Amino acid sequence: MSSIPIPNDFNKVLYQPLAEADPEVQEIIERETYRQFRGLELIASENLTSLATMEANGSILTNKYSEGLPGARYYGGNEFIDQLEVLTQKRALETFDLDPNVWGVNVQSYSGSTANFAAFTALLQPQDRVMGLALPDGGHLTHGYYTAKKKITASAIYFQSFPYQVDRSTGLIDHERLKANANLFKPRLVVCGGSAYPRDWDYKFFYEVAKANGSYLLCDMAHISGLVAAKEMNSPFEYCDIVTTTTHKTLRGPRAGLIFFRKDREADIEARVNAAVFPACQGGPHNNTISAVCVALKQASDPAFKNYAKQVRANAQALAAKLFSYGYKLQTDGSDNHLVLWDLRPIGLTGSKIEKLCDLVHITLNKNAVAGDTSAVVPGGVRIGANALTSRSMNEKDMEKVAEFLHRVVEIAGVLQKEAGSKLLKDFVAKATTGDGEGRQQLKQLSVEVQEFATKFPLPGVPDSASIKRFPDAEE
Ligand code: PLP
């Protein structure tokens, strides 16, 4: 066939590559690529996905509407989308070793938050009672977060929430108190799983509490689903009614959500979950994202992923051990999973200060509440995840180097705090960014060393990291 000419009228833009069609956006993407390459990504909820996942995510499947389910759509032209969705469901069940007679899965959620709200919608009536781990104790916003002044998320606005907490001295979930409170509160739903909990979960305990109170049990395994898939952590499937997850944390896929539902306890649960996703909470599925989830699930089922997950845990533990060797306090004294919760209060620092300084030296992490913090706005710690750096092929030795960088950040923070002569964040940041003292000089030196170290490791998704465009104006 001879080639089909590209029109030169108003449709021409439809055929231009991004660099030509929109150099401004292209440059932002290139700058972000460089940022990811030259920095150390320690945010526990992020990862660096594969080239194939990104190709699928950026594919022509974005064009298609497919409201409904495979074989029962509200739009025509869905024969291939049906194949894709069925394949994704099959792979999702296989990835977690689930019997399709017992478990089903909805793969249409746009993200973890929408997956959770859809699951709540499927299980609960408005104003039903829920119990999840409190946000300042490591839970997620969507598990019923409220403050003294405000019901923050829809999960607290539309349902009655009464959180459980961790023990103030150990940082571990206070099981006894949770049980006693559940016996009084009689939640319709108990939620396990969290965003900043460094230890494994006792799902049998949660099941027993739920059973004693006639509650549903939902696990949000968003953070650890890659480790569960690789059998590196306990599986929630034996005990839970519903399991939700994001697909972009340890599972290393695109940004999306999955809802697994147990079919052998309630006959209509499948219909309720599916109807909760669409039409109750969402419209048309994002088929490009679903195809990327499908690719990521294939990769997570590969034996190589098991090695990745093992290494994630070994790296988190190596990082924890090294921080420990400097005398720092870690919540629960260590980690069973991919993350470490570093309590900065004993050294007189806040999470905000360390997050800010780390940013200045191209180490990305986030401030986080630690046990006993009363405010999520001025938290006393930081959360550190090993998942992204493990995707960059780093091992235990490399994580020790990362811990050494973090130790130097703390030392520099001490210098800056003295120079600022006050404990206020704004004075501290001013010294770090525009000061002419020793602290700022040390930060600059550390920034150079971090970048030298990070750029030795390839960036996933980029076939040749040496080709990544550098931006001299961003050098510091
Ligand atoms: N659930 C947990 C446990 C999470 O940690 C997160 C996000 O970090 C979510 C749900 C929300 O996911 P998303 O940001 O995709 O909505």
Name the CATH superfamily for 308-474: Aspartate Aminotransferase, domain 1 (3.90.1150.10)
> Model-level pTM?
0.97
179-192: pLDDT as tens digits:
999 999 999 999 99
**30 has a pLDDT exceeding 70:** yes
CA distances from 476 to 94, 193, 302, 421 (A): 46, 39, 40, 25
325-350: pLDDT as tens digits:
999 999 999 999 999 999 999 999 99
**214 has a pLDDT exceeding 80:** yes
pLDDT computed for residue 54 by the predictor: 98
Judge contact between 305 and 229, C-beta under 8 A.
Answer: yes
66-92: pLDDT as tens digits:
999 999 999 999 999 999 999 999 999
Judge contact between 412 and 357, C-beta under 8 A.
Answer: yes
In the chain, list all ranges with CATH 3.90.1150.10: 308-474
**1 has a pLDDT exceeding 80:** no
Closest among 233, 229, 169, 226 to 198, alpha carbons compared: 233
Ligand 1: which residue has its CA nearest to atom 9? 112
From ligand 1's centre to the CA of 194, what distance in Å? Answer: 9
pLDDT category at 388 given cuts 50, 70, 90 is: very high
User: Can you read off the two tokens belonging to residue 384?
Assistant: 């550190």
What are the backbone angles phi and psi of residue 220, rounded to the nearest 5°? -100, 95
pLDDT computed for residue 104 by the predictor: 98
| CATH classification number, 60-300, choose in 3.30.1490.190, 3.20.20.60, 3.40.640.10, 3.50.50.60 | 3.40.640.10
From ligand 1's centre to the CA of 119, what distance in Å? Answer: 14
Cβ of 153 less than 6 Å from ligand 1:
no
User: Can you read off the two tokens belonging to residue 84?
Assistant: 């894709």
- Point out the residues that are catalytic: 65, 67, 220, 246, 249, 255
Cβ of 113 less than 6 Å from ligand 1:
yes
Cβ of 193 less than 6 Å from ligand 1:
yes
pLDDT, average across residues 47-58:
98
In the chain, list all ranges with CATH 3.40.640.10: 60-300
pLDDT computed for residue 375 by the predictor: 67
pLDDT computed for residue 171 by the predictor: 96
**283 has a pLDDT exceeding 70:** yes
